[in-house]
Amino acid sequence: MKLNELRDNPGAAKKQKRVARGPGSGKGKTAGRGIKGQKSRSGVAIGGYEGGQMPLYRRLPKRGFNKPNAKKFAVVNLGQLQAFVDAGKLDAKKEITEDILVEAGVVRRKLDGVRVLAKGEVKAKLKLAVTGASKAAIEAVEKAGGALSVTAAAPAAEATE
């Protein structure tokens, strides 16, 4: 095989329809855009415009509220912790803090703290110190013979009157 013999598979490359190239092309004159009007012109984007009708995004009611200062926690499941202990990346005998979890690669970054959830099983006796945990996670760790202490994040400075 030589470079000049390279060919695409038959039917792999479809020839593009050349519009506005005369009446014989089948897409001549107006190039399939019809006659006049906004959509026949170039440089027009009508996204969301419904021709004077009240647009959908204004007909639907606004719902909900996004708290601008909501806390974002890095989430860790008990199954993940057990997997990291089994792999030898976490030492179950020492106290496990948020910084140790970041170093071991369990979470990428702490954000506003680390929150432990009860998905998965934990068999090792873990001593955890994190910002938050679900009740089920605390029970599961204590059932396995470990301890899970929840340290509240430093509260924001409150304005005094």
- Residue 43's pLDDT is 81
Please answer whether residues 146 and 107 qualify as being in contact, where contact means their C-beta atoms are separated by less than 8 angstroms: no
Task: List domains and CATH numbers for the chain.
Answer: 74-150 (3.100.10.10)
User: How far is Cα 63 from Cα 131, in angstroms, rounded to an integer?
Assistant: 31
- Residue 154's pLDDT is 52
Q: Which residue has the higher pLDDT, 155 or 96?
A: 96
Which residue is associated with the tokens 């990346």?
89
Name residue 133's amino acid.
A
**pLDDT (tens digit, 9 = 90+) per residue, 22-47?**
999 889 999 999 999 888 888 887 78
Average pLDDT, the chain: 87
Over residues 148-155, mean pLDDT: 73
Residue 76 has pLDDT above 50, yes or no: yes
- Residue 42's pLDDT is 87
User: How far is Cα 147 from Cα 125, in angstroms, rounded to an integer?
Assistant: 8
Beta strands 95-97 and 127-130, pairing class: parallel
Phi and psi at residue 95, to the nearest 5°: -70, 135
pLDDT band of 113, cuts 50, 70, 90:
very high
Residue 74 has pLDDT above 80, yes or no: yes
User: How far is Cα 108 from Cα 102, in angstroms, rounded to an integer?
Assistant: 6
pLDDT band of 155, cuts 50, 70, 90:
low
Please answer whether residues 109 and 103 qualify as being in contact, where contact means their C-beta atoms are separated by less than 8 angstroms: no
Q: Which residue has the higher pLDDT, 159 or 62?
A: 62
pLDDT band of 10, cuts 50, 70, 90:
very high
Residue 152 has pLDDT above 80, yes or no: no
- Residue 49's pLDDT is 82
For residues 136-148, b (16+ Cβ closer than 10 Å) or e, as one string? ebbebbeebebeb
Residue 11 has pLDDT above 60, yes or no: yes
